Amino acid sequence: MHASDPVTADSPRKKVHFDIDRFNAYLRELNLFRAKIRSVLFETRQPFFPIHYSDIGDPLVGNAIMAYLGGSQRLDHFETEILK
């Protein structure tokens, strides 16, 4: 079964096919793309501030981003919940 195959209500659950070679090829391409971006930013002396997606809701990370951008505001917490 592939992820794109339709599932009917009366069919038993089956495992989804996972192609590890295809996944690893994708991962290699993604890492090459990211390395190229970092390289170009470094060579052109453009600063960058990489953050992990799971850290977006952390006020400390928000404060670091604001400081990085030159802002003086500081947060103790986010006033509204961030929707994903």
- Using a cut of 0.75, tell me whether the model's pTM lies above it: no
Digit-by-digit pLDDT tens for the chain (84 residues) are 566 677 777 777 777 889 999 999 999 999 999 999 999 999 999 988 888 888 888 888 888 888 888 988 887 777 766 566
- Strand intervals (E) in the chain: none
Instruction: Quickly count: other Cβ atoms within 10 Å of residue 29's Cβ.
Output: 10
What the block records as the tokens of 57 is 């809701």
CA-based end-to-end distance of the chain: 29
